[in-house]
């Protein structure tokens, strides 16, 4: 087990001897968040485990175990969610970006009790930290340290922003490997010819979406762009809690508030997408 103090010292040594860049910055940034959630738990104690969270807010969350099982096994019919959940189950790891998205989907789209997700993460994450995990699930559920309520991630937009070519989804959801480009994020929009070409039978070889959020429709057309296409950077509604996205990397690897998603230092001063951001919608 490597202590956070040693990680901090090694990063500072690396920055002095090699290079200081966004990658090194965000690893330290996430260490600070780790400490922050330690203090949150010291202040609020076991309230972080309560249904009502540290703010004492109760909501009508469901305990539908059939829906939860679909989420946990990566069979929701929403490719970006399913890919992340399958990676977690098979490897014990998930990117910060993925953790934010699957948490939002469970709470905001399915309306399930946030504690189900927190306990699942606790069971599977190799980098699990009690304070970081439960503090972040409180945050995602709107009962933790966040003054802005009802924030929700748009699964399609997030998938297109962070896995525009669909390579990450195809890596973890083999049923969709015959679907090319960004269309893999919205297989329910494919025509009969494309479905046949991909050997895909929705509802049989791959599930239909459990839910269809109305805001997804605003971004489904982006899936028709050619592989490698990126929209030019521009402002997004509800973003910039700490920084604006650089529109980086597939696989949802750009970070968030969940522990364990930061990338390691990179040599040669090469630019990389910042880890640790909190881009919404």
CA dihedral 191, 197, 201, 207 (to 10 degrees): -80
Catalytic residue, candidates 114, 120, 172, 216? 114
Q: Which long-range contacts (C-beta less than 8 Å, at least 24 apart) are formed by 208-216?
A: 208/77, 209/76, 209/77, 209/78, 210/67, 210/70, 210/76, 210/77, 210/78, 210/109, 210/110, 211/109, 211/110, 213/109, 213/154, 213/155, 215/152, 215/154, 215/281, 216/154, 216/155, 216/156, 216/157, 216/186
Give the H/E segment covering residue 32.
Answer: helix 22-44
Catalytic residue, candidates 26, 71, 137, 216? 137
Catalytic residue, candidates 15, 18, 61, 188? 61
In sequence order, which residues have a C-beta less than 8 Å from that of residue 167 and are 6 or more positions away? Answer: 250, 251
Catalytic residue, candidates 21, 26, 33, 138? 33
Residue appearing with tokens 């189900």: 116
Q: Which residues pair with 161 in a beta bridge?
A: none
Please indicate whether residue 120 is annotated as part of the active site.
no
In sequence order, which residues have a C-beta less than 8 Å from that of residue 201 and are 6 or more positions away? Answer: 195
User: How many angstroms separate the CA atoms of 237 and 249, rounded?
Assistant: 21
Question: Helix, strand, or coil here: 229?
Answer: coil
Catalytic residue, candidates 21, 71, 84, 96? 96
Please indicate whether residue 30 is annotated as part of the active site.
yes
Please indicate whether residue 137 is annotated as part of the active site.
yes
Please indicate whether residue 15 is annotated as part of the active site.
no
User: How many angstroms separate the CA atoms of 137 and 82, rounded?
Assistant: 19
User: How many angstroms separate the CA atoms of 23 and 26, rounded?
Assistant: 5
Give the H/E segment covering residue 4.
Answer: helix 4-17
Catalytic residue, candidates 30, 101, 136, 175? 30
Structure tokens at 6: 């040693």
The catalytic residue positions are: 30, 33, 61, 96, 114, 137
């Amino acid at each position: 087990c490597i202590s956070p103090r040693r990680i901090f010292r090694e990063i500072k040594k690396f920055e002095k001897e090699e290079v200081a860049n966004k990658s090194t910055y965000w690893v330290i940034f996430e260490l600070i968040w780790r400490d922050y959630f330690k203090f949150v738990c010291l202040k609020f104690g076991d309230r972080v485990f309560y249904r009502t969270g540290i703010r004492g807010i109760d909501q009508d969350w469901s305990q539908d175990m059939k829906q939860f099982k679909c989420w946990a096994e990566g069979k929701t019919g929403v490719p970006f969610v399913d890919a992340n959940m399958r990676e977690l189950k098979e490897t014990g790891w998930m990117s910060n970006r993925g953790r934010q998205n699957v948490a939002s989907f469970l709470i905001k789209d399915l309306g399930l009790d946030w504690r189900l997700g927190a306990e699942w993460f606790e069971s599977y994450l190799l980098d699990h930290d009690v304070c970081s995990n439960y503090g972040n699930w409180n945050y995602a559920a709107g009962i933790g340290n966040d003054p802005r309520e009802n924030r929700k991630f748009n699964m399609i937009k997030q998938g297109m922003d962070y896995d525009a070519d669909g390579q990450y989804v195809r890596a973890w959801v083999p049923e969709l490997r015959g679907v090319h480009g960004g269309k893999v994020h919205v297989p329910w929009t494919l025509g009969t010819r494309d479905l046949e070409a991909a050997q895909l039978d929705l509802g049989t070889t791959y599930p239909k979406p459990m839910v269809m959020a109305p805001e997804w429709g605003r971004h489904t057309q982006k899936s028709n762009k050619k592989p490698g296409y990126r929209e030019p950077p521009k402002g997004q509604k509800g973003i910039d809690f700490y920084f604006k996205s650089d529109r980086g990397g597939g696989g949802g690897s750009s970070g968030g508030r969940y522990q364990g998603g930061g990338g390691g230092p990179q040599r040669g001063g090469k630019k990389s997408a910042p880890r640790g951001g909190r881009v919404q919608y």
